[in-house]
Amino acid sequence: MEIIEYREEYKEDCKDLLVELEEYIVSIDEDKLDQVGKDYREKMLDNDLEELRNNNGKCFIAVENNKAIGLIMGCLRKWEESDYLDYKCPKTGKITELIVTSKTRSNGVGKELMKYMETYLKELGCEYITIEVFAYNDSAKNFYNNRGYHPRMVDLIKKVEDNNE
């Protein structure tokens, strides 16, 4: 296995990886709010790559036997002017996607991809790195916790019922 920067020749593999991740998220979504929309496969990768282009980001892919088996995307976080009112806003990187195909998971691919992205974001001068993790994705939370990540903000959700309680 080797880790390389994103190349167009792996575009279809990367689309497949993103779909695999989203299908997994849909399968564990207890609220049943996530979906794989009809245009997801064709548009999501391009949307992600555009975010990287606009925010000094990179996509690294793990390749084995001429096939992408994992990917990670990360970029600089942009702060809004209002963020500075109540936060120090250190230079922060954010990991926007991490997926390793289920066929090769638990073989260290995710760890290697994380090392590459953390090194890249550190080279940009980032003091912190953030990643959003789906609340129901316990395996991902454990993976990141084992690498020194911890919760900072937590979103809570409640379905509004049609009753007077």
pLDDT tens digits, one per residue of 8-32? 999 999 999 999 999 999 999 999 9
pLDDT above 80 for 151 = yes
pLDDT at 129: 96
pLDDT at 114: 95
**Mean of the per-residue pLDDT values for the chain?**
93
The pair of structure tokens assigned to 74 is 């990360």
pLDDT tens digits, one per residue of 64-101? 999 999 999 999 999 999 999 898 889 999 999 999 99
Q: Residue 158 class from Cβ within 10 Å (0-12 exposed, 13-18 middle, 19+ buried)?
A: exposed
pLDDT at 165: 55
Q: Which CATH architecture has domain 2-145?
A: 3-Layer(aba) Sandwich (3.40)
pTM (predicted TM-score)? 0.89
pLDDT tens digits, one per residue of 92-135? 999 999 999 988 877 889 999 999 999 999 999 999 999 999 99
